[in-house]
Structure 1
Amino acid sequence: MAEDGAVVDQDFLITRRDQYKQVFPSLEFIGWYTVAERPTARHIALHEQFTPYSSTPLLLVLQPSTVFAASADSSGQSLPLKAYEPTLEIRDRKSRSVFIEAPYSVETGEAERIAVDWTAKGGSGGTSLESHLQTQRAAVKMLHDRILLLVKYVADVVAGDATKDHATLRALSALIASLPASESTEFREEFDTEYEDVQLTAYLATLTKSANLLNDLVDKHVVLTSSRDDRPSMGVRRRGMMGRPTDFDRFH
């Protein structure tokens, strides 16, 4: 049990390990991962619970924050993660468990590179439109969050809950004064024009896709009907053999 009471579900871990061994018998348990800024005493306590499955399990720490991602890039790594291995440190005649950073390299196969390239180009469409739109959405969301932060700061200043910073308020006033008037006639006309162009483009894309699906359906129908018309029927052969139509021929 860890110092904060965190306990690894051993039954679930054993069950999941056995399931993986059935599918991938050549793989072995080598460590575990977590999301944190750096290893702490809590991770050491949790790490000891994985030792029955590996003599020296590794700890992979995912660092999603931009600060640690930047430090990882400066140290030559391209991914915001670090690997650690446990070791004993003797200090003041006392031993304790600590983590030391372990070097690693990322190896990819041909299939993984194809999948990454396919994802980077926007999926099955073969374009980067989806990634471009996601980038724009992230930028708009960030701008929205910053605006909410500024609005909250001004509201707190008015309510007396925040310290009044004249330089910041002057900068906000200058920024607001530099923005175009959103209620002017020219702005509304230009906005409506761009909005209608975007909607028209979306409708044209949907119409083009529907037309392509309809063309494919028509082509398949033509191929199917032509193959049926070219195939001789059993009734014609029977009339040639017997000299007169039968009930089977009338039915067909």
Structure 2
Amino acid sequence: MSAMETDEISVVLPPTTTSGLALSLHPLPILNISDHWTRSKLQKNSLDPFVLGALLGTQNGREVEIVNTFELAVVGDNELVDHEFLVSRRDQYKQVFPSLEFIGWYTVAPRPTSRHITLHEQFTGYCSTPLLLILQPSLALISSSDVNAQTLPFKAYEPTIELRDRKSRSVYIEVPYNVETGEAERIAVDWTARGGGSGTSLESHLQTQRSAVKMLHERILVLVKYVTNVIAGQARPDHTILRSLSALLASLPASENKYFREEFNTEYGDVQLTAFLSSLTKSTNILNDLVDKHIVLTSGKDERGGGGGGHRRRMGRQGAPGDWDRFH
């Protein structure tokens, strides 16, 4: 943070000034903004990347809900919003979610500054009082260090006008909010908290198998080391353990036996042949569907070509090959 930002007059009114706005924040914007900030940090290799996005939601009087977000593009290095991109994305969301409107914007910062007032003026054309939602990473670090802290690292602000020394200026009022979740959102958040796509049954099964193989490998290394030390005279032989090892080895398949290798190659070939036949059957079904569609299309063209012509063509096919071409 620069010295100028530290010494400038705060653009947030004191807590004694309250907002009459009833604000509800849904989980999806929280996840979207956090993901946007994380990806920007990794892509730009910066601890403080510039993050900007739009807030979508509904407003009924003084009751506002932030339901969704989308990322915004910036033109040049002067933090000018790409308004063409904003309008395009807003209209696309409007087609899918007609009830959602542009109600504000979000960014990542420790606190609002005059820089955000300048950005705020770029959004007044889309909404008379665009809200500002800020992700505060510093608040996240404080909350994570306190076991009992339940505060989300987000703060919402409503724009207003302050009169001071007969002059007016744009400022913000902090707006308290409640996290509103529906049944579908609770399921999605729980799925994300459990690891998202990594929680699929296939990956879970593979992870279990990998852990089991790793544990087996470690125990085999222990046994091999013990037997090596016994042979080298560095460990005391325990005949009970050695008999157990001998019985274990006798129960294993003789993988180096000639008959075992032949049987294994036969089974391997059968599996490969079954997979090939399955693929061939699937390809045949696709080809069959394609031929059926082609027949339907060509028969439709014959019927549109006229009754007489179609009859002559069918008669020509029933005769000797080339008769119709030879006489007509």
TM-score by length of 2: 0.36
Which has a greater percent of strand?
2
Larger of the two Rg values belongs to structure: 2
Q: Which has the higher contact order (CA 8 A, sep 6+)?
A: 2
